[in-house]
A and B are shown apart, each in its own frame.
Chain A
Amino acid sequence: DVKVTQSSRYLVKRTGEKVFLECVQDMDHENMFWYRQDPGLGLRLIYFSYDVKMKEKGDIPEGYSVSREKKERFSLILESASTNQTSMYLCASIPIAGGYTGELFFGEGSRLTVL
């Protein structure tokens, strides 16, 4: 079974802190995604990566950056956390062979609270 692991399930940070959210997948998928989920807004794409060291902005990249130094790992970085970044963050991956007709595999989410 494909496994997407988000290392931190729950985090509490203070305004201005730097925050790292880590995501690791074990199925050699090329494409990885970071989404933010808020009630009533569904999932919104922050960034995605289609290869090592490659990244593209999604719909709401402001205030976020990403890093993909290894194929299996995709990190989301909040350089200076703000209260409006309190949210559930979901990582997902998909193999390039499936394209968009393939299944997205999700991690269990990281719930971030910024005080």
Chain B
Amino acid sequence: AQSVTQLDSHVSVSEGTPVLLRCNYSSSYSPSLFWYVQHPNKGLQLLLKYTSAATLVKGINGFEAEFKKSETSFHLTKPSAHMSDAAEYFCVVSGSWTLRDDKIIFGKGTRLHILP
């Protein structure tokens, strides 16, 4: 069984300061992990993904995430927030190649607010 927990439902940071969005996961086997971003009234867009290669994953728009197996975490970071980063972010875990054996699990989302 798999699960994913986004530890904060809302995060507020000032423009130009670092961003940290936290995600913990649980998986019976080696997971694939993703972060998606959703801007208002839009669909979800992939930011980055981890699929058992390098543990530090770089994504679009300056975001990156580090897979830490010992902590079962996959936190999303960005060194300097921009106003355009204001959006909702979803952490996603999946762990099987076979559609019917497993599911894609979404976290409940973290809404990122950028203060001017």
Contact = CB atoms under 8 A, between A and B. Distances in A.
Interface string B39-60: 0011111100101000000000
Contacts of B69: none
A21 B111 CA distance: 27
A109 B43 contact: yes
Nearest to B51: A101
A109 B41 contact: yes
Interface string B79-105: 000000000001010111111101110
Interface string A95-107: 0100111011011
B100 A107 contact: no
A20 B59 CA distance: 36
A64 B31 CA distance: 30
A114 interface: no
A42 B42 contact: no
Interface string A10-41: 00000000000000000000010000000011
A71 to B, nearest CB: 15
Contacts of B109: 42
Interface residues of B, number: 28
Contact of A104 (B9, B42, B46, B95): B46
Interface of A: 4, 31, 40-43, 45, 48, 50, 56, 58, 90, 92, 96, 99-101, 103-104, 106-109, 111
29 contacts: A40-B9, A40-B108, A41-B108, A42-B107, A43-B106, A45-B103, A45-B104, A56-B100, A92-B43, A92-B44, A96-B99, A99-B97, A99-B98, A99-B99, A100-B32, A100-B97, A100-B99, A101-B51, A101-B97, A103-B46, A103-B49, A104-B46, A104-B104, A106-B36, A106-B43, A107-B43, A108-B43, A109-B41, A109-B43
Interface of B: 9, 32, 34, 36, 41-46, 49, 51, 90, 92, 94-100, 102-104, 106-109
